[in-house]
Amino acid sequence: MLLKFERSALCLFFVFSYFFLPQNISAQNQKATLSGYIKDASNGEALIGAGIFVEELKRGATSNVYGFYSLTLPAGKYTVKFLFLGYVTETRSVSLLENNTINIDLAEETRQTGEVVITGEQKEIEANVRSTQMGVNKLDIKTISKIPPLLGEVDVIRSIQLLPGVSTAGEGASGFNVRGGSIDQNLILLDEAPVYNSSHLFGFFSVFNPDAVKDVKLIKGGIPAQYGGRISSLLDIRMKEGNNKKFEVNGGIGLLSSRFAIEGPIIKEKMSFILAGRRTYFDLFFPLSTNDGLKETIAYFYDLTAKVNYKINDKNTVFASGYFGRDQFGFGSAFGFEWGNGTTTLRWNHVYGPKLFSNLTAFYSSYDYALNIESAATGDEFKWKSTIQNLSFKPEFTWYANDKNTVTFGGQVLHYNFLPSETTVSSNGVKGDPVSLPRKYALENSIFISNDMEISKRLSLTYGLRYSRFFNIGPGTMLNLQETTAGISKPYTISNIESGKIIADYGNFEPRFSAKYEINDQSSLKASYNRMAQYIHLLSNTQASVPLDVWNPSSNNIKPQIGDQVAMGYFHNFNWKESDYEFSTEVFYKIMQNQIDYIDGADLLRNKGLEADLLSGDGRAYGLELFLKKRKGRFNGWISYTLSRSERKVAGINEQSWYPTRFDKTHNLYLVGNYELNKRWSFSANFVYSSGVPGTFPTNRIEYQGYVIPHNSNNLRNNYRIPSYHRLDLSATFDPKKNENRKWKGTWTFGIYNVYARKNPFGIYFRQEPPTVSDNPADRVTQSTNTQAVRFSVLGTIVPSATYNFSF
């Protein structure tokens, strides 16, 4: 079976090679390749997406995520410019008679308020108009750190939520939704390893420590063939490599947490490391509280990020990176609840020659949670844990075939080990037998090949194919479901599957295509199509996903999710009143198959018959995105607007007609602005407006044993909308700048979240008036059968913060 897989991989490769190889070989003789790495001169960090521009030919290229570039040109003498936004351009005269390697270090521009301009060359290589890729938003850590923080925490996911096509189910909800997809349809990669729960503190903060993050890239459409496994988006987060020139310490002291990061060379210019940690500490004040309940409360999170890289020589660099984070909650020794992610990534970059770059990645990723209730005095104990573990090997190659084609190819083997739940119970001194749901094992293999092809100066294409194959493998159990009326739990029998036997086997061809046509130097049209397959699913039927939600593999009953998306866009860069602007608009239409929904009242945790409670249906999402960004200058920022719809159709729900998903928002408007008043003060603001999410409201009431139960007589799902959401945040950064030459640099950031204290509804709920309990013996309990509607706001008030950031 695996052989079959390998065979189809090889076939695929040859079929692809056939299409473009012959025509290219003939043209190769009189050409030479310029290649190398582009790095930051101050710390040796690879610059991602830096530009190489050849004056004479008006041709350019960009560096990859490891800073590597390769450009094949007719042999000759050239003036080559190396450039990166915010950095001083380096110009070299290159005599390119044979292959040549040039490694370049670019120096950051010295900060002179308002003087930074975008050069003509930079415009030439600008991704917005030039790149074939669409549906992409990049945020560097500098931009992210300017966005007004919540409780002083600079946050990657919160920043992502200000981009077009991205929204959230509500304040404090874990994860994010991209173009009408659910949160589990985003592949979140931290140095190539997937992160299964991106949230700290139930969803208020993300797990990424900003001190260790270098670059964040979100791809919403036209997803390249090297990525797969989720149908809506890819969030690619790259960690810093660590300063390889000198030691550097960064940190911050905030209301919620403190951060500390140290980086520096181990062997100068060759080997460096970064170690970054963060911990919240409000819990340290609990013991001082006069509230007895709070005294014993445990509530904190921490994370540690570490990375080492070693440049063995010009051709070989190895990286080892790791992340470990945990959230801990509890009361004394009686109750504990914790969860966390861990990832380890090993990578080896190898340059076979000026035209062939490879990266081999091996990673381990895990997510687990544990719940613990214990009382030694009464002999009670309840322990519950669940884990998901991943082991993967992923070779990837980039072949800069010639001046017209860049081929990327590779594959991935991904092994899953799921422990849905393991419980042990002791009650009143009597110990019960441990009860576990059997482990589940799966293998997800894929191969891909993709070509970036320049057809003419104006027209370029990226086309590729990914083939993915998924096996759900024994030992385990298989649920045999019987058909019944749609919408109720299906009767089932369970069969045991031996080790190595296949429970389910799915294969999918996933074509990817995007095209760019440049109308002129300032504007282009792009179109893309991608098919994505997703084999693992986060089962969650709560408004906001909880840390207890369990990832489940596809099985004989759960089919892989398939997403098809077409998108078109217009991209335009322009200059207005001597400022540079970047504009883009995209429309998308997405069809999603095998979307999971749940029967009413489904029990998703510790349920051996879980699959019997699942429903499968279709999803569709479509929308329009507008994005205008002012890139530089004292005042910069962006406006993002999305008009969209996200719907489901599931047999057994809503009389099988389309209904909006629980995160569907018609309008999303985000404004982000930064203003640098002078060298000491800078200000930022963001404003968020979004339509209310749908909710299911009752029409009627009935009484059962004294309880008032709401009832919707039409049985329609999501028939109402809660009021819209809007919020303004402000922040100010003060840089005392006492002495330019002093090593210690400190800045203050003051933030106000939800400036006008709007009580934004997270949801509207319906309930029976709660009974009142008094101490008057004659009138202890008063009962009511009156009903009321309740608006729940997560952060219904103004939240100020102050943070002191330092570096030395």
Site for another protein in 663-702 (CB under 8 A): 695-702
Minimum CB distance to another protein, residue 652 (Å)? 11
Rounded distance, CA 638 to CA 139, Å? Answer: 12
Cβ burial of 90 (10 Å; 0-12, 13-18, 19+) is: middle
Q: Which of 579, 724, 793, 807 binds another protein (CB under 8 A)?
A: 793
Identify residues 539-578 at the interface with another protein (CB under 8 A). 541-544, 546, 548
Give the 3-state secondary structure of residue 103.
coil
Minimum CB distance to another protein, residue 206 (Å)? 16
Q: Which amino acid is at 161?
A: Q
| 297 lines the binding site for another protein (CB under 8 A) | yes
Cα dihedral value 406, 407, 408, 411, nearest 10: 180
Q: Residues 726-765 vs another protein: string with x where CB under 8 A?
A: ---------------------------------x--xxxx
| 290 lines the binding site for another protein (CB under 8 A) | no
Minimum CB distance to another protein, residue 301 (Å)? 11
Rounded distance, CA 719 to CA 753, Å? Answer: 31
Rounded distance, CA 294 to CA 284, Å? Answer: 11
Identify residues 140-179 at the interface with another protein (CB under 8 A). 170, 172-173
Minimum CB distance to another protein, residue 178 (Å)? 21
Minimum CB distance to another protein, residue 607 (Å)? 8
| 795 lines the binding site for another protein (CB under 8 A) | yes
Q: Which segment (211-219, 496-504, 571-579, 778-786) binds another protein by CB under 8 A?
A: 778-786
Q: What angle do CA 646, 650, 653 make, to 5 degrees?
A: 105
Identify residues 184-213 at the interface with another protein (CB under 8 A). 201-204
Cβ burial of 546 (10 Å; 0-12, 13-18, 19+) is: middle
Nearer to another protein, 657 or 782 (CB): 782
Minimum CB distance to another protein, residue 544 (Å)? 5
Minimum CB distance to another protein, residue 142 (Å)? 29
Identify residues 47-86 at the interface with another protein (CB under 8 A). none
H or E stretch including 10? helix 2-25
Rounded distance, CA 795 to CA 808, Å? Answer: 36
Question: How many Cβ atoms from other residues are within 10 Å of residue 485's Cβ?
Answer: 8
Residues, the chain: 808
Q: Which of 18, 285, 707, 756 binds another protein (CB under 8 A)?
A: 707
Minimum CB distance to another protein, residue 591 (Å)? 23
Identify residues 308-367 at the interface with another protein (CB under 8 A). 329, 331, 334-335, 337
Nearer to another protein, 199 or 468 (CB): 199
Q: Residues 435-474 vs another protein: string with x where CB under 8 A?
A: x---------------------------------------
Minimum CB distance to another protein, residue 185 (Å)? 18
Rounded distance, CA 603 to CA 609, Å? Answer: 9
Cβ burial of 24 (10 Å; 0-12, 13-18, 19+) is: middle
| 240 lines the binding site for another protein (CB under 8 A) | no
514-529 burial, b at 16+ Cβ within 10 Å, e below that, comes to bbbbbeeebbbebbbb
**Residue in the structure block whose two tokens are 């200058």:** 633
Q: Which segment (81-89, 218-226, 309-317, 715-723) binds another protein by CB under 8 A?
A: 715-723
**Residue in the structure block whose two tokens are 């409670």:** 613
Total residues in contact with another protein, by rule CB under 8 A: 106
**DSSP sequence for 585-641:** EEEEEEEEEEEEEE-TT---SS-TTGGGGEEEEEEEEEEEEEEEEE-SSSEEEEEEE
Minimum CB distance to another protein, residue 442 (Å)? 25
Identify residues 631-670 at the interface with another protein (CB under 8 A). 662
**Which two structure tokens, joined as six digits, stand for 11?**
């076939």
Q: Which amino acid is at 393?
A: F
| 767 lines the binding site for another protein (CB under 8 A) | yes
Q: Residues 489-528 vs another protein: string with x where CB under 8 A?
A: ----------------------------------------
695-717 burial, b at 16+ Cβ within 10 Å, e below that, comes to bbbeeeeeeeeeebebeeeeebb
Identify residues 368-397 at the interface with another protein (CB under 8 A). 371, 373, 375, 378, 380, 382, 384
| 719 lines the binding site for another protein (CB under 8 A) | yes
Enumerate the β-bridge partners of residue 764. 791
Q: What sign does the CA torsion over 165, 166, 169, 171 have?
A: negative
Nearer to another protein, 335 or 581 (CB): 335
Residues 620 and 591 sit within 8 Å (Cβ to Cβ): yes
Q: Which of 13, 492, 766, 804 binds another protein (CB under 8 A)?
A: 766
Identify residues 586-615 at the interface with another protein (CB under 8 A). 600-601, 603-607
